[in-house]
Amino acid sequence: MSNGQSERREMTGAEMVVQALKDNGVRHVFGYPGGAVLPIYDEIFQQDEVEHILVRHEQGAGHAAEGYARSTGKAGVMLVTSGPGATNAVTPLQDALMDSIPLVCLTGQVPTSLIGSDAFQECDTVGITRPCTKHNWLVKDVNELAATIHEAFHVATTGRPGPVVVDIPKDVQFAKGFYVPPQIAPRTSYQPKVQGDLEKIKAAVELMAIARKPIIYSGGGVINSGPEASHLLRELVDLTGFPITSTLMGLGAYPASGKNWVGMLGMHGTYEANMAMHDCDVMICIGARFDDRITGRLNAFSPHSKKIHIDIDPSSINKNVHTEVPIIGDVGRVLEDMVRLWRATAKADKKALYPWWEQIAKWRARDSLAFKMNNDVIMPQYAIQRLYELTKDKDTYITTEVGQHQMWAAQHYHFEKPNRWMTSGGLGTMGYGLPAALGVQIAHPDALVIDIAGDASVQMTMQEMSAAVQYKAPIKIFILNNQYMGMVRQWQQLLHGNRLSHSYTEAMPDFVKLAEAYGGHGIRCEKPDELDDAIMEMISVRKPVLFDCRVANLANCFPMIPSGKAHNEMLLPDEATDEAVANAIDAKGRELV
């Protein structure tokens, strides 16, 4: 890691920043210059080991760094100036916090002598970002700068990963001091527990061995733990013969083509996944956190099961759902022990699981992701299905924005590998997908990177098309354009008597012309029989593409667990008549805020 030359060398703070980035293995930084970071930009200018990607808005830098991190497993790095630069970084910081993405954000700050004086472009960056980071630092002494940046990388990437901010006043960037290389000397108060308690793992294996209606519920923690964890998860599923479902964040850890896969669970998960969660006798939660989009009505959540919960963050245990066997540790390490113990002690009685699998097959036969095809209008689900069929054999990465298109993508695009699916799960940030795609493409220049977008979300960070053109990043923005904020409209139909308050976009840009204005390539498709050719055109263009896919305007996303309902009270597509939708929230719903 550290090269000999950098040992205790005297240099300026700005030089230290660049040296520390190099020493932490950083190849790309996403950022936007400004007064308080000019010395760092001057250093970046004078070297070419660390490449800087100039975005058009600091939020874009953050999401690009998130996409970069999620697709590589490394920390994403963003560099912004003080004041508005830092405040614009808040959304991606909170996004990364909720989805456990390692993100290192370096912010410029006004000189130490001006801090607190309401100086130009001053804000209390560490104060503002304190609740939306895992940790943050204001560095007032140049001699602490290098060690702080190294510690920032350590905190961001270890334990439960997350965003960190290092705020660097301008005078500290100019000041000279001694550089120290990265050292493995973590502070004593920060010691994440990675190895699971063996007794607990033993208890879990014993419980699993006698399960007759088991289910594995895996999440983003498996992806964060690294490719080996996904490999071990597959091994565990094969050994036990258990069915497996996953959260939105965990898609790809177990392949969608795997025979034990029952689809995603939760509010827009499959009927079989949610019913299996509800009826199971043993639930093995691996790197997920019983989020409210997963559990539905808590007091009706999987009422008859014993629950095993593997998580690196002790605060996730028993937060929402009581767990019989909590195992605190890194998913990869725990799975390693679990697989070894299962091999040594338990014999998979796969015959005993036959009735359970038969039951699951009955649920699956309900075909909960079905939709009515239309020969004149492109159904959004059909668009995703065709996109999947035409890109599945390529080196494809998918990002999304937030809304109906995101759920359709999760339902109808099937992931075989981890790190291929970048989406804003916890925070639900519209505008995440386009810059995230840019970040993924920078990390994987030869891959096919597609942002499955909605017409409303994509306009929130559209300006990053310009960055994509500048860096010749041929990202494909596949917009399911229904002229509505579809998910908002769907909820207004469900919860607010179909009063569509401000969810229709009356003025929409011409996305084809917009693409051309940015120097990209625009495609419009309105007919189902033209879709395949249009998608093939999108794939073949070596330029950023805006694909305006005109889809059925009023399609809704089903199946769905309506408000305050349990897993076994899903609204299925064939039952979702206008009347059923309008009455999905019963009298009990009134009690809810």
Kindly tell me which of 197 and 313 has the beta carbon lying closer to another protein.
313
Q: Is 98 in the site for another protein (CB under 8 A)?
A: no
CA 565, CA 333: separation in Å to the nearest integer? 36
User: Which of 407, 487, 560, 570 is labelled catalytic?
Assistant: 487
User: Which of 74, 134, 170, 200 is labelled catalytic?
Assistant: 170
Smallest gap from Cβ 83 to another protein, in A, equals 19
Q: Mark whether 416 is an active-site residue.
A: no
Measuring CA to CA, which residue among 62, 32, 171, 57 is closest to residue 109? 171
Q: Is 138 in the site for another protein (CB under 8 A)?
A: yes
- The stretch among 290-298, 336-344, 346-354, 571-579 that binds another protein (CB under 8 A) is 290-298
List, in sequence order, every residue forming a beta bridge with 164; answer none if it has no partner: 104, 135
Q: Tell me 115's DSSP state.
A: T
Q: Is 134 in the site for another protein (CB under 8 A)?
A: yes
Q: Are 104 and 156 in contact (CB under 8 A)?
A: yes
Pick the binder of another protein from 54, 239, 448, 495 (CB under 8 A).
495
The residues, any chain, with a CB within 8 Å of residue 121's CB and separated by 6 or more, are 34, 35, 36, 81, 82, 83, 84, 85, 110
CA 331, CA 236: separation in Å to the nearest integer? 12
Each residue 333-372 as x (binds another protein by CB under 8 A) or -, in order, gives ----------------------------------------
Smallest gap from Cβ 318 to another protein, in A, equals 7
Smallest gap from Cβ 325 to another protein, in A, equals 17
Residue 458, both tokens:
């994509």
Q: Is 324 in the site for another protein (CB under 8 A)?
A: no
Q: Is 130 in the site for another protein (CB under 8 A)?
A: yes
- CA distances (Å), origin 159, targets 57, 225, 233, 314, 473: 30, 9, 19, 11, 32
Site for another protein in 246-285 (CB under 8 A): 267
Q: Is 126 in the site for another protein (CB under 8 A)?
A: yes
Q: Is 572 in the site for another protein (CB under 8 A)?
A: no
Q: Is 318 in the site for another protein (CB under 8 A)?
A: yes
Q: Is 491 in the site for another protein (CB under 8 A)?
A: yes
Q: Is 115 in the site for another protein (CB under 8 A)?
A: no
Q: Mark whether 120 is an active-site residue.
A: yes
Size of the site for another protein (CB under 8 A): 37
Each residue 164-193 as x (binds another protein by CB under 8 A) or -, in order, gives -----------------------xxxx---
Q: Mark whether 121 is an active-site residue.
A: yes
CA 89, CA 57: separation in Å to the nearest integer? 9
List, in sequence order, every residue forming a beta bridge with 346; answer none if it has no partner: none
Smallest gap from Cβ 136 to another protein, in A, equals 8
Kindly tell me which of 78 and 155 has the beta carbon lying closer to another protein.
155
- The stretch among 68-76, 277-285, 313-321, 341-349 that binds another protein (CB under 8 A) is 313-321
Pick the binder of another protein from 5, 299, 501, 540 (CB under 8 A).
299
Pick the binder of another protein from 5, 46, 315, 501 (CB under 8 A).
315
CA 101, CA 107: separation in Å to the nearest integer? 18
Smallest gap from Cβ 335 to another protein, in A, equals 23
- CA distances (Å), origin 427, targets 96, 290, 403, 436: 9, 15, 12, 15
CA 425, CA 219: separation in Å to the nearest integer? 11
* Cβ density class 50-76: b for 16+ within 10 Å, e for less: bebbebbbbbbbbbbbbbbbbbbbbbb
| Beta-strand relationship, 176-178 and 261-264 | unpaired
CA 98, CA 29: separation in Å to the nearest integer? 22
Q: Is 314 in the site for another protein (CB under 8 A)?
A: yes
The residues, any chain, with a CB within 8 Å of residue 453's CB and separated by 6 or more, are 400, 401, 405, 433, 434, 477, 478, 479, 480
Measuring CA to CA, which residue among 541, 543, 536, 586 is closest to residue 563? 586
Tell me the catalytic residues: 58, 120-121, 170, 487
Footprint on this chain of another protein (rule: CB under 8 A): 126-127, 130-131, 134-135, 138, 155, 187-190, 267, 292, 296-299, 313-315, 317-319, 491, 495-497, 499, 563-564, 582, 585, 589-590, 592-593
